[in-house]
Amino acid sequence: MRVKLPKDDDTIVAIATPPGEGGIGILRLSGPQAPAALGRLWRGRRVVTAFESHRLYLGDLIDPVTEEALDRGMAVWMKAPRSYTGEEVIEIHAHGGPLLLNRLQEVLVAAGLRVAEPGEFTRRAYLNGKLDLLQAEAVGAMIHAHSEAALRNARGQLRGRLSDEVAALRAQLIDLLARVEAAIDFPEEDIEIIQPRQTAAAIASLQRVLTRWLEKFQLGRLLREGVRVALVGRPNVGKSSLLNRLLDEDRAIVHHQPGTTRDVVEGFLQIDGVGFQVFDTAGLREGLEAVEREGVARSRRVMAEADLVLWVLDASQPLSAEDKDILGMVASHSLRDDAPGASRGGWASILVLGNKADLPVASQNFPADWEVPRAIKGGEWLLVSAATGEGIARLKAALVEAAGVQAGPDQSHTYLNNARHREALQGAQSALDRTAAALSSARGGQAAPPVECIAADLREALSRLEALIGEVSQEDILDQVFSEFCLGK
Ligand SMILES: Nc1nc2c(ncn2[C@@H]2O[C@H](COP(=O)(O)OP(=O)(O)OP(=O)(O)O)[C@@H](O)[C@H]2O)c(=O)[nH]1
Ligand SMILES: [Mg+2]
């Protein structure tokens, strides 16, 4: 089934450990020439051809041309097909200095190897059937995970949890398609082909699964990328101070003069294992001069792309005219359509913060005196103090809750989570929608839709699902998937 791309029979090499200095640096080799290439620079008690698979050996690494000893290290041969890529794989463990590792790589290239492209090892693993495309993506997601939740999601994906779910759905679709196609092939025979009513029921159940996946999709995305949180408000209310407090570091400049922050300052934090990308923005006001105006324009953009907006007010002061202007902006701003609160009308994704709660007047003013409209009043607001840390624990809990992401260890679900997944799911869904619509108009008394049309739509849905796991794949999709990898993976 899988479209095998022409298999590379060249042998690749890459430095698999990150650039920089470290105790150990690892070179990874994959392809038929890997053992011979190691043999050229290996001087050990055991020759490479006598290596047992998956065992480490100690030896000297030399430059075969000059006979110069480059390092003393360890090497292991993972024999095909029992290796990560399914090919002959060798790893050389040397000291982790960039000059040394580059030199070793040069020697191997001189021996006829090619430096690998980013992700090429995993691409080979996929092409050789060691991983499906969802699992291959999970390898990248494991490496790039910035939060416990992202890591857990990627781990589940790598273990094949999503692949299994997709496979189950695929099996149902194939079954349905087979029956519909039987009706095409043997129209005159009295075989038990599926009736329109049953077909419709089967399709409805497939649709429900896809809908559930799409609903959970944004959770997966939030887990993978982290929740985007924008701190907005008028100048001087303490947005930058709050960012610093949340990150527990002195990231943004804080000053009593309004208009301090001009550019967007961001930081990443984990709360209960969930990642949050927090953006501090320029205070919103009618800009006096060009730089500040540009800052305000950037604030608006950040707000538009946020999953959650933290609208910061100075609780020690009455609501000002500027706050009221911002209220309009916050109220009318449309959250990205996959934001956590978007389906609930957006409001759930806005938290109102009364900052400077440490000042004596704060509790009197906030929020009773304020004409905060019902929509936001009914939403969540919190009194906090960036100065003393009061209310910050509650704020963190509210962030996790508003994001709708529970990352507890009991959470055993793995979610589809990137743009490629969503496109495939939506494609499958609209093909099924078409089939369902055709069938229901048939039951509404109109002529039954030709079985050929139903079969074509089902086939389309099937191919979208198969693209998800990479059962059928196009070169450009593979390029896209594997280009996001780092070198040596
Ligand atoms: N008492 C008190 N002062 C605070 C608190 N948070 C911030 N401030 C003070 O308020 C002033 C403004 O703080 P910033 O964090 O720079 O405010 P901002 O909203 O980022 O301001 P712009 O960048 O100008 O929009 C500074 O003098 C802070 O020290 C707080 O919780 N309590
Ligand atoms: Mg600021």
User: pLDDT by residue (tens digit) across 260-311?
Assistant: 888 899 999 999 888 999 999 988 887 677 777 788 888 888 888 888 889 8
Residue nearest atom 16 of ligand 1, based on CA coordinates:
254
Burial state string for 4-21 with b = 16 or more CB within 10 A and e = fewer than 16: eeeeeeebbbbbbbeeee
- CA 266 to centroid of ligand 2, rounded, Å: 12
Alpha-carbon gap, residue 416 to 253, rounded angstroms: 38
Alpha-carbon gap, residue 367 to 369, rounded angstroms: 6
Among the atoms of ligand 1, which is closest to the Cα of residue 253?
Answer: 16
Q: Which residues contact 235 (CB under 8 A, 6 or more apart)?
A: 258, 259, 260, 282, 283, 284, 285, 322
Q: Which of 254, 293, 313 to mutate to test the pocket of ligand 1 (most atoms within 8 A of CB)?
A: 254
Residue nearest atom 7 of ligand 1, based on CA coordinates:
238
Predicted pLDDT at 377: 47
What pTM does this model have? 0.77
- CA 272 to centroid of ligand 1, rounded, Å: 27
Predicted pLDDT at 362: 60
- CA 223 to centroid of ligand 2, rounded, Å: 28
Nearest CA-CA partner of 173 in 469, 449, 478? 469
Helices (H) and strands (E) in the chain — how many of each?
16, 13
> Which bound ligand lies closest to the C-alpha atom of 244?
1
Residue nearest atom 27 of ligand 1, based on CA coordinates:
256
Predicted pLDDT at 431: 95
Predicted pLDDT at 97: 94
Among the atoms of ligand 1, which is closest to the Cα of residue 355?
Answer: 31
Burial state string for 289-322 with b = 16 or more CB within 10 A and e = fewer than 16: eeebeebbebbbebbeebbbbbbbbbbbbebeeb
- CA 347 to centroid of ligand 1, rounded, Å: 26
> Which bound ligand lies closest to the C-alpha atom of 292?
1
Q: How far is CA 273 from CA 68, 150, 396, in A?
A: 49, 8, 12
- CA 252 to centroid of ligand 2, rounded, Å: 7
- CA 238 to centroid of ligand 2, rounded, Å: 7
Predicted pLDDT at 139: 93
Among the atoms of ligand 1, which is closest to the Cα of residue 237?
Answer: 19
Nearest CA-CA partner of 302 in 348, 245, 365, 239? 239
Residue nearest atom 12 of ligand 1, based on CA coordinates:
236
Residue nearest atom 6 of ligand 1, based on CA coordinates:
238
Residue nearest atom 32 of ligand 1, based on CA coordinates:
356
The whole-chain average pLDDT of the chain stands at 84
Nearest CA-CA partner of 296 in 278, 284, 288, 308? 284
- CA 387 to centroid of ligand 1, rounded, Å: 8
Q: Which residues contact 2 (CB under 8 A, 6 or more apart)?
A: 129, 470, 471, 472, 473
Among the atoms of ligand 1, which is closest to the Cα of residue 283?
Answer: 25
Predicted pLDDT at 481: 79
Residue nearest atom 17 of ligand 1, based on CA coordinates:
238
- CA 437 to centroid of ligand 2, rounded, Å: 53
Residue nearest atom 24 of ligand 1, based on CA coordinates:
259
Predicted pLDDT at 286: 76
- CA 222 to centroid of ligand 1, rounded, Å: 29
Predicted pLDDT at 306: 87
ω before 81 within 30° of 0 (cis)? yes
Residue nearest atom 10 of ligand 1, based on CA coordinates:
238
- CA 241 to centroid of ligand 2, rounded, Å: 7
- CA 375 to centroid of ligand 1, rounded, Å: 26
> Which bound ligand lies closest to the C-alpha atom of 354?
1
Average pLDDT across each block of 10 residues of the chain; the chain has 489 residues. List them in order: 51 95 96 96 96 98 95 97 97 96 96 94 95 93 89 91 92 89 66 67 92 84 87 93 95 90 91 91 79 81 86 86 78 56 51 88 58 52 92 92 62 78 93 88 66 88 92 76 79
Ligand 1 pocket, CB under 6 A? 235-241, 254-256, 258-261, 282-283, 355-356, 358-359, 385-387
Residue nearest atom 14 of ligand 1, based on CA coordinates:
238
